[in-house]
């Protein structure tokens, strides 16, 4: 099944709703696409580069818990978490500047 622009617009509506309910979320690199390997067919990739505070803000806004977040070394350090909202999987990724931060990533309350 191919994804249409109409289908893709659902992802942009979700992002618009997040922006309206959390107006201070920092801008991120966003990619809305079809993802076959995850539960939801529609996926939004939200990427931040070197912004640990922004990552924590997005993490809280999306309701991604510490359990759903992992930090790995992959040509530098990367933190990533995901959640499914309204049938759309949102993958949040932080590319750390150098080393993984000492402070613990925020936990959604």
Whether 101 is covered by a domain: the verdict is: no
Whether 29 is covered by a domain: the verdict is: yes
Whether 102 is covered by a domain: the verdict is: no
Contact by Cβ (8 Å): 43, 34:
yes
Whether 45 is covered by a domain: the verdict is: yes
Whether 100 is covered by a domain: the verdict is: no
Confidence of residue 96 (pLDDT cuts 50, 70, 90): confident
Domain count, the chain: 1
The pLDDT assigned to 40 comes to 58
Bridge partners, 62 (sequence order): none
Is pLDDT of 57 > 80? yes
Task: Report the percent of the chain where pLDDT is more than 70.
Answer: 79
More confident call, 19 vs 109: 19
Residue (of 19, 11, 4, 25) closest to 86 by Cα position: 11
5: its two tokens: 């622009």
The pLDDT assigned to 75 comes to 67
**What does pLDDT average to over the chain?**
82
HSE-CB for 65 with a 13 A CA cutoff: 3
Q: What is the pLDDT of residues 26-40, one digit of tens each?
A: 999 999 988 765 555
The pLDDT assigned to 108 comes to 44
The pLDDT assigned to 5 comes to 87
Q: What is the pLDDT of residues 73-94, one digit of tens each?
A: 766 778 899 998 888 889 999 9
Whether 12 is covered by a domain: the verdict is: yes
In angstroms, the CA 11 to CA 30 distance is 10
The range of the structural domain enclosing residue 57 comes to 5-95
């Amino acid at each position: 099944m191919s994804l249409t622009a109409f289908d893709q617009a659902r992802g942009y509506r979700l992002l618009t709703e997040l922006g309206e309910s959390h107006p201070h979320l920092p801008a991120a690199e966003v990619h809305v696409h079809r993802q076959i390997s995850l539960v939801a067919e529609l996926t939004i990739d939200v990427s931040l580069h070197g912004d640990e505070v922004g990552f924590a803000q997005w993490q809280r806004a999306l309701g991604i818990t510490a359990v759903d977040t992992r930090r790995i070394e992959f040509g530098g350090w990367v933190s990533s978490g995901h959640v499914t909202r309204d049938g759309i999987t949102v993958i949040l990724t932080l590319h750390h500047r150098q080393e993984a931060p000492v402070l613990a990533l925020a936990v959604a309350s």
